[in-house]
Structure formats: structure tokens, C-alpha cells
A and B are shown apart, each in its own frame.
Chain A
Amino acid sequence: GNSVTQMEGPVTLSEEAFLTINCTYTATGYPSLFWYVQYPGEGLQLLLKATKADDKGSNKGFEATYRKETTSFHLEKGSVQVSDSAVYFCALSDGRELSFGAGTTVTVRA
């Protein structure tokens, strides 16, 4: 079956630091890959997605590249802000439901 493994947290950073959250997946076929972000007390918001190998998703300074050869979709941001503090979820879809990683809590300190 499909599964997603992402870096365990929590991750604590200072403002303007570089953020990377590792995500690898197991799937049959060629899934779409997603990063969702959850702010405290809220639902999930789509951050970015990629639908085929070598696609790069980007949004709000975040980037992730769909790497089929390493089955990975690592999330990166070059300079984080306090407002980026949230829980980040990597997910995959084979066309129906999403399979999520366990989430990585990121805290950015001023």
C-alpha cells in the first residue's frame, strides 16, 4: 500500500534560518505529491504540489521537487519567518484519498 515517511520533529529554528523537512514515500504507480500546512487550531491548507517526476512545486518561498529515483519530496525554504511556525504534512495521492505523513512541527523563534 501507499505510505509516507517524514522527518520527525519538533524542529526549532531562528528567523531567517534555512528549513528542510525530509519526506519519502512508497507507492505503486505514479502518485501526486503534496505538502499541506496546519496552523494551530485550524484545518489543513495546501502549500504546494507536484504531479509528475521532476516537477517542482513552490509557494510562499517554499519549494519541493518530485524525485522519482529517490522517491522523495523534501520541503525547503531559504529564510523562515516566525509566521511559518506550523505543522507540515507531506502527502501522496494515487487519485483517491490522501495518505499523510505523521507531520513535522516547526517553531521559528524571533
Chain B
Amino acid sequence: NAGVMQNPRHLVRRRGQEARLRCSPMKGHSHVYWYRQLPEEGLKFMVYLQKENIIDESGMPKERFSAEFPKEGPSILRIQQVVRGDSAAYFCASSPPPSGRKGETQYFGPGTRLLVL
């Protein structure tokens, strides 16, 4: 059973370009979370999605950032017109549907390290 897959692992963009980060959840997982890790900091929640639905995007910057999780294919985190401050590691996690308990474990991918020049 493959784990959470993210690609690319490293992405270099110039200011003003677009960055697209992909995440394929673990088999059987229908819920995806995106987190951002700035240098020397912990992870900050960005967005929580299930298939074709955004459940919670309270951690997402209001502009330039968007996320989707289509019926077919991976989840995509899209950053338009990137700026230097977007340089960070972006991690995706997946979990099975919540069972009503609070203990569902999130499984993390290896991350995409975005560098904006």
C-alpha cells in the first residue's frame, strides 16, 4: 500500500510564475490536508478537502492560493504569481473519512520544497 505521494519533491520558480503542487492520498483515503512549513517553524494548516469539496480553508491566504481535490486525480495546491515569501515546504496529509472519533491519524507525504527566486 503506497503512502501519500507528492510531486514534485523540489520546485524552483521565479517571482510572478505559478506553482502547482500535487498530492495523491493513500489508497482508501478520501480526505486531504495541506500544511505549510516555513524555515525553522512548525507546520501551519492551510486547507482541508474531500473529493470535490473544500471542507475548511481557514488557513489559506485569501489571494493567489487555491486548492482542489477532483473526483479523479490528485489534489492540487496552486499558487499564482509566487513571491519570495512563498518559499517553504508544503506537506500534504491524508486520512480515512472521520469515524466520529477524534483519533484519526493523518499520514504525511514527503513534501514539496518550493524555492522562489
Tell me the total A-B contact number using a CB cutoff of 8 A.
Answer: 63
Segment among B13-21, B42-50, B68-76, B78-86 that sits at the interface with chain A: B42-50
Counting CB contacts under 8 A, is A95 at the interface? yes
The count of residues in chain A whose C-beta lies closer than 8 Å to any C-beta of chain B is: 24
Instruction: Please report the C-alpha to C-alpha distance between residue A31 and residue B91 in the assembled complex, in whole angstroms.
Output: 22
- For residue B43, which residue of chain A has the nearest CB? A100
Task: Check if A97 sits within 8 Å of B110, measured CB to CB.
Answer: no
Task: Check if A44 sits within 8 Å of B43, measured CB to CB.
Answer: yes
Q: Which residues of B contact A46 (CB under 8 A)?
A: 105-107
Using known A-B contacts A43-B91, A43-B111, A44-B91, determine if residue A96 contacts B48 with beta carbons closer than 8 Å: yes
The count of residues in chain B whose C-beta lies closer than 8 Å to any C-beta of chain A is: 27
Q: Which residues of B contact A44 (CB under 8 A)?
A: 43, 91, 93, 108
Instruction: Please report the C-alpha to C-alpha distance between residue A99 and residue B35 in the assembled complex, in whole angstroms.
Output: 10
Counting CB contacts under 8 A, is A69 at the interface? no
Kindly list 13 other residue pairs between chains A and B, CB separation below 8 angstroms, not including A96-B48, A100-B35: A30-B102, A43-B91, A44-B91, A45-B108, A49-B103, A89-B42, A93-B103, A96-B55, A98-B33, A98-B43, A98-B45, A98-B93, A99-B45
Which residues on A are within 8 Å of B, measured CB to CB? 30-32, 34, 36, 42-46, 49, 51, 89, 93-103
